[in-house]
Amino acid sequence: MGSPISKETFLERAQARFADHYDYSQIIYKSYKTPIHIRCTLHPVKVIAITPEKHLQTTGGCKYCLRASRIRMLERELQRDALIHPSLLEAASSPRQAEDPLVREFSLSEAKGP
Ligand SMILES: [Zn+2]
């Protein structure tokens, strides 16, 4: 185990990671593993209870942001694939499965002959 992390160190790391994404003005910092209460500045309706440790290891604890970031990632993947070439999407997803049966069929029918 490393040295205990002070409130100052935690805030420093949190700001480096999240900038001003989360509001730390209400926290009562006891230890790295004692839950604190923070707010997401984008979704301040809900107070987030999370340990400083978890806060730094995850997307911060805001489930709305977590969901949004997952959706963004999915959308980015879809857009990237679609941008390359829409028709490549199907072929790229399963190139072998798409080709193998055809190849087998061809070689079979050629071996049997008409
Ligand atoms: Zn949020």
Tell me if 2 is assigned to some domain.
Answer: no
49 alpha carbon – ligand 1 mean position (Å): 13
Condensed to tens digits (0 to 9), the pLDDT of residues 73-100 reads: 999 999 888 887 666 555 555 555 545 5
Tell me if 1 is assigned to some domain.
Answer: no
65 alpha carbon – ligand 1 mean position (Å): 4
113 alpha carbon – ligand 1 mean position (Å): 65
Which of helix, strand or coil describes residue 101? helix
Tell me if 15 is assigned to some domain.
Answer: yes
26 alpha carbon – ligand 1 mean position (Å): 16
pTM above 0.85, yes or no: no
Residue whose pair of structure tokens reads 């160190």 in the numeric block: 9
Which of helix, strand or coil describes residue 45? coil
Q: Which domain holds residue 94?
A: 7-112
Tell me if 51 is assigned to some domain.
Answer: yes
- Residue 36: pLDDT over 90: yes
- Per the structure, how many domains does the chain have? 1
Q: How far apart are CA 112 and CA 114, in angstroms?
A: 7
Condensed to tens digits (0 to 9), the pLDDT of residues 39-48 reads: 999 999 989 9
